[in-house]
Structure 1
Amino acid sequence: MRTAIFAHRGSKANRPENTLAAFEEAARVQSDGIELDVHLTKDQEVVVMHDEKVNRTTNGTGQIKQFTLRDLQELDAGSWFSGNYRKEKVPTLKEVLELLSDYSGVINIELKTDRNVYPGIEERVVRIVDAYRANLPVVYSSFNHESLIRLKKTDASAEVALLLWERLAEPWRYTQQVGATAQHLWEPSAFSDTAKQLHQHNIKVRAWTVNKPKHMQLAFQMGLDALITDYPEVALDLRKSYETAGKKLH
């Protein structure tokens, strides 16, 4: 089975994460999937950023939920990475999906509901996806599995994935109980017997965050469904070499 390459927060290694520049680059290098994170602003707009606070990746301070969209988008979301990206703003989910309207790969939307409560975020995200990405592949993930259950109640056909650090006993049972079709596992957990157990029950395994070439190779060898990486272009090149070597052996 071919292991898909998901770009973590866009092309995070060479662009400011979770910005339009990062997503554009991830699409340009032809990543199989693009992972991003969503929160709600004070005025209930769905925006794309990893942290609950704006401090690390903008020139502002404070919680996203304390900002209106207008005030949030006045912040500089690129200069922390490089002066070349000082015009980058915190994008809305709508803006990202508009940018990626021709992108046929998987969009992995992580709901950042494990620390902050964002009432109604699941319904809002589903409405946006329905409007901007109908009939194109999307998978929702979260460390807050109750959030995924709420999302499934909004859209029973949605593909959801459990985000997990740890390994579970009989991991397929809980996954099926939640209604998920995949586990997104931290590297050490993904590179274990858990992957084999999940595959035996037709549950996908995607590993995060796989940045070392030797670990990328291991993901290919194990037949993981995907690896999520800050270096999609490196992973894509390695996969090509791995597949070429395999063909030569046969």
Structure 2
Amino acid sequence: MRPLVFAHRGGADALPEHTLAAYLRALADGADGVECDVRLTRDGHLVCVHDRRLDRTSNGTGLVSAKTLAELEGLDFGSWHAAAAAAELTAEHTRLLTLDRLLSALRDSGRAVRLLIETKHPSRYGSEVERRLVEMLRKFGLAEPVPGDPVQVTVMSFAALALRRIRALAPGLPTVYLLEIPPPGVGRGRLPFGARIAGPGIGLVRSRPTLVRNFQAAGLQTYVWTVNNEPDLDLVLEQGVDGIISDRPRFVIDKLENARPV
């Protein structure tokens, strides 16, 4: 079985990351799933923004957590991207994306899609991030996986405590422990309580040749991020990973299609 292909931040290479246009493009390109990061605004809304500061991906400045939703809605989150020069930009390319809007779009897509949601920590709001997330998922009927539901959610974090909170709030949700520098024991196939899937970065997979094999021996799935070039893709395919998270989902899909036996 081929690995699942996830569009990192919606597929951040082709279109501005975390914009609705990027996610719709990834679905049209055939990605199995999409990935997003969530942060809380000052007035308690979950928004899809990776950085704690606004400077890189918008025309605003300051902390996401210090702004209200209305303040963030007034910013341009897409014109900075290289693709903007060649595209006729619409609100889908430049408008802030809330988790509510993303979940609505996935529900309306009419196809099966897996959503990876990373909760960003440290955060001034602490456990409120996970509490609000599970509350939002309940609104959409996604806090408990339902067989046959076309939309399936998995929660990810670098913070083991965040995954423990998810396990307590929504025990049925799959969880991914993201790894850049593994704590003691993890490299031998053990994950912190609350984590069910290993999520190593590609740099870690390169530097630890036995890492994926150790997770497999422990009966754990492995999703690797962020796989954007051919040597890295060849490496993770050779190791038999379960999920590939990429800024270039179309590139990954094309490689997998070409590798199929005739």
**Is the TM value for this pair above 0.5?**
yes
The superposition leaves residues 211-243 of structure 1 with CA deviations (integer Å, 9 ceiling, x where unpaired) of 11122122122110111111000100001111x
Which of residues 112, 121, 125 is equivalent to 1:113? 121
> Do the aligned residues in 1 keep the contact of 2:175 with 2:196 (CA within 8 Å)?
yes
AA aligned to 2:180 is: W
Instruction: Measure, in 1, the Cα distance between the counterparts of 2:129 and 2:158.
Output: 15
State how 1:13-32 maps to structure 2 within 5 Å.
13-32=13-32
Residue deviations 1:38-61 (CA, integer Å, cap 9, x gap): 000000001101101111111110
Give per-residue Cα distances to partners, 1:79-120, cap 9 Å, x unaligned.
111153363211110000101113422100000123544441
For the 8 Å contact 1:10–1:17, the answer to whether it is kept is yes
Where 1:240 maps in the other structure, the secondary structure is helix
**2:102 maps to which of 93, 96, 120:** 96
Aligned to 1:36: 36
* Residue 189 of structure 1: how far off its partner (Å): 2.1
Which of 193, 200, 223 is the aligned partner of 1:206?
A: 223
Pick the aligned partner of 2:247 from 230, 233, 239.
230
What is the number of equivalent residue pairs in this alignment?
244
Instruction: Quote how far apart the aligned CAs of 1:11 are.
Output: 1.7
SS in 1 for 2:10: coil
Q: Is the 8 A contact 1:164 1:183 kept in 2?
A: yes
Residues 163 and 114 from structure 1, CA distance in 2 versus in 1: closer, same or farther, beyond 3 angstroms? Answer: farther
Stretch of structure 1 that moved more, 32-41 or 186-195: 186-195
Q: Work out the CA distance in 2 between the residues paired with 1:233 and 1:144.
A: 30
Distance in 1 separating the partners of 2:157 and 2:48: 14
Find runs of 4+ consecutive structure 1 residues off by over 6 angstroms: none
- Identity percentage of aligned residues: 28
Q: Which moved more, 1:111-120 or 1:205-214?
A: 111-120
Q: Distance in 1 between matches of 2:56 and 2:101?
A: 22
Mapped partners of 2:6, 2:252: distance in 1: 9
What TM-score comes out, normalization by structure 2 length? 0.87
Q: Does 1:63 align with 2:63?
A: yes
Match of 2:139 in 1: 131
Q: Distance in 2 between matches of 1:217 and 1:141?
A: 24
Q: Is the 8 A contact 2:127 2:165 kept in 1?
A: no
Distance 1:85 1:114 in 2: 33
Q: Given that residues 189 and 215 in structure 2 are in contact (C-alpha distance below 8 angstroms), is that contact kept between their aligned partners in structure 1?
A: no
